[in-house]
Structure formats: C-alpha cells, structure tokens
Homo-oligomer: A and B are copies of this chain.
C-alpha cells in the first residue's frame, strides 16, 4: 500500500499521540494535521496547540475546537431519549463521543485534502472500531491509520526511546507507567487497566476523579428539578440552560453527592471481557429524571416498545454503529415517541443515590380519576375488566383443556 500524503490525527497533546504524530511523519513521510477537541474532558486545549507547533505542525494545520454543545445536543441527548444503557448498567460515555470525533476527522480531511485519518486507540479495544466504522460510513474512500496495530513500539521502553529520539518532551510523571488508563468527556470518566484488572478487587479510591465518595458526600440530600421538552432536558431548577451547560451543572450536582459511580465487567465488541470504572454523575441523574418524566407522559405501548429495543440500540452505539441505517431507524422510532415527553421531574440526590420523588407535566397521562380508590364518577367500569380477563384467558383455557384431553 502506498503511503498517505496527508493525515489528520486525533491529537490530545499527550505523550502517546505526540509519539504517533512523529511516527506518522517518520513512517510515512506524510504531512500531519492535528485535531484536538474539547468534549468536556476537563483539560486545557492551548497546551496541545503549543505542543503540536513544537513538534513541527504548521499552525494552519492545527485544528482545535470546542465541540461540547454539539456533543451533548446531537449525540448525548438523542441517546438519552432512548434510556440507553449497555449491559444493564453502562451509560456509554466513551462510546457516544467517538462518532463525533470521527466525523470531525473526516470533515477536516475533506477540507484539507488529506487522504487519511489516524487515531491513538489500541487494537484490543472498542474505540478503534468506533472511530473507523464512523469514518468509513461517512467517507468510504478515507484511509484510517491505527498506529497501535501497526508499529513495533510494543513496550513502554521502546515508546520512551522513540520519544527521546524524536525530541518529544516527556512529562516527569509519564516516565513511569500510569496505574490505570483514563478517558473523559462531559458525559463521563472511564478508568481501566492495571490496578483495575482483577475484577475481584474493589477499585481503589484514587481511581475516582469526578465524584466524591458517597461516604464523603453531604449529610443532607440535595433536591434538583429538571425540566424537559421533547424528551430533552432544558432547565435546572427553572433556569433554562444550553445542553452542555445543563450537563455541566448536573455533573456538579451529581458529583458532589457521590452519584454515578459504576464498577463494571463488560463485554467488548472485539470479544473479551474488560473491567471499567465509570463516573457519570450528570448522566445518571439525567437518566433517572428522563425515566421519571416518561412515566407520566409516555403511553404504555410506546414505552414498552422503547424498552424492548433499547438494548439493541445501546449495543449499536457501544459497537460503533452510530452512523448506520439501523441506528438511524431506531432513532426515528425513539424520537417519534418523545414529542410530548415534557414537564418537570424532582430528583433527590443523596450519598450516591439519585431518586425521582415527584413529576408533573402539562402533558401528563396520569389520571387520578381513573386510578383512585374513591368513587371515580364512572370514568372506569370495573365490569369491563371481567370481559377483558375472560377474553385474554380464552386461549389459555383452550390450551389447558387440550393438554388435559391428550393427557387423559
């Protein structure tokens, strides 16, 4: 295969992607464009610019973008309309960020005339799949370079040696190996590897970065009211906020109350199990609240259909198929259900828990007159239930009679 001429690299500014930057230039003799995005990971981006410049990247070829609003509005919120959780528990914080990064990589490649993109995900994980499926779905002629699958820098020693040989600055604390690996964005932090590799061992306290321990959270509960429109959160305690601002606020509230920690062994798309520790404070509150508002505004048929399809939808996102026809079809189905998912949910946060304690909506389907133990003024005729049961039972009775007949 011929060498690429110009490569857009997903660049964090850290040691690993700096090594990739140099390796691409060395290995392929190609021009490198860097792309660094603020997805809410909580790091300054300007150092990445400086470092890219230091490593010889032309200032015109350094793309630094704040994607937080797009991330929450077009990726996180649509996903939360589905109440998506992977394997019953994981809120898909890393999974949902990858398609957006891939989308911008491809767009920048098209804008700059690059013929390839590159990322720093390893060959054992899900992220390589998410980056690459997204990229190919958006531009079938793009080439994707995944150095970790290609190069022979297979040990820490070799990596550091390559860095030194290529004048890549190495922060002191990067000399030794990190005790675990981290990914972060506005939705969550993810930690895995090393000290977390034995799933029988409780995760050490220092793994957590965004949430206080429940034991250290306030002794009195915090109450928060979240407003919804068309299935998306739009306000907190009456204050209208942009998507990213809202999630930021929920992260603060959730994090301060120890909400959103998860210790999980999950199944990777590439076939092995891995253990991750996640912190999704705002997302956890959001999920709880969204279910709360759906409870009073969503029809049963709509809700059950969503619930049945959710695992598939979550799996598609986890596996990297955000930009696939089937995810888009499911999204159309989900979005169709959310038109009147509106109103306000009151959530109690306390030492690790987030619980709905009240919900109200102008579009409520809850009818006290139907459910009441008191006289309902004819809203519901209990005798109808007798017919309902009889007809539902008919096939079961025919079956029981048949089984008795042939057993005799």
Binding site for B on A (CB under 8 A): 83, 87-89, 122-124, 128-129, 132-133, 136-141, 146, 148-149, 154-155, 181, 193-194, 197-203, 214-215, 219-221, 261-267, 270-275, 291, 295-296, 299-308, 310-312, 315, 321, 323-326, 328-330, 332-337, 340, 346, 348, 350-353, 355-360, 362-368, 370-373, 375, 380-404, 406
Which 5 pairs, one residue from A and one from B, show the smallest C-beta to C-beta distance? A387-B387, A123-B382, A271-B394, A267-B300, A384-B387
CB pair A389 B325 closer than 8 Å:
no
Shortest A128–chain B CB gap in Å is 6
CB-defined contacts of A149 to chain B, threshold 8 Å? 382-383, 385-386
Q: Which of A139, A154, A272, A404 has the most CB of B within 10 A?
A: A272
Q: How many angstroms between the C-alpha atoms of A321 and B306 in the bound complex?
A: 17
Choose one: B129, B155, B310, B362; the contact of A389 (CB below 8 Å): B129
CB-defined contacts of A139 to chain B, threshold 8 Å? 400
Shortest A26–chain B CB gap in Å is 20
Q: How many angstroms between the C-alpha atoms of A350 and B37 in the bound complex?
A: 38
CB pair B307 A396 closer than 8 Å:
no
CB pair B199 A367 closer than 8 Å:
no
Q: What are 25 A-B residue pairs whose CB atoms fall within 8 Å in the complex?
A: A122-B373, A128-B385, A137-B396, A139-B400, A140-B404, A149-B385, A197-B371, A199-B364, A201-B358, A214-B353, A266-B295, A271-B391, A271-B393, A271-B395, A275-B371, A301-B326, A304-B326, A323-B396, A324-B396, A329-B337, A351-B351, A352-B353, A365-B402, A380-B394, A384-B387
CB pair B395 A299 closer than 8 Å:
yes
- How many copies of this chain are found per oligomer? 4
Complex: chain B residue closest to A330, CB-CB? B333
Shortest A304–chain B CB gap in Å is 6
CB pair A329 B308 closer than 8 Å:
no
Complex: chain B residue closest to A121, CB-CB? B385
CB pair A199 B399 closer than 8 Å:
no
The verdict on A202 contacting B393 (CB below 8 Å), with A275-B366, A308-B312, A400-B136 known, is no
Choose one: B352, B357, B391, B406; the contact of A270 (CB below 8 Å): B391
Shortest A86–chain B CB gap in Å is 9
Shortest A352–chain B CB gap in Å is 4
Q: Which of A140, A299, A300, A401 has the most CB of B within 10 A?
A: A300
CB-defined contacts of A123 to chain B, threshold 8 Å? 380, 382-386
CB pair A140 B301 closer than 8 Å:
no
CB-defined contacts of A399 to chain B, threshold 8 Å? 137, 299, 325, 365
Q: How many angstroms between the C-alpha atoms of A375 and B391 in the bound complex?
A: 18
CB pair B140 A397 closer than 8 Å:
yes
CB pair B311 A308 closer than 8 Å:
yes
Complex: chain B residue closest to A297, CB-CB? B402
CB pair B267 A386 closer than 8 Å:
no
CB-defined contacts of A264 to chain B, threshold 8 Å? 295
Q: Which of A89, A334, A396 has the most CB of B within 10 A?
A: A396
The verdict on A336 contacting B332 (CB below 8 Å), with A382-B124, A388-B270 known, is yes
The verdict on A362 contacting B305 (CB below 8 Å), with A132-B389, A133-B393, A261-B355 known, is no
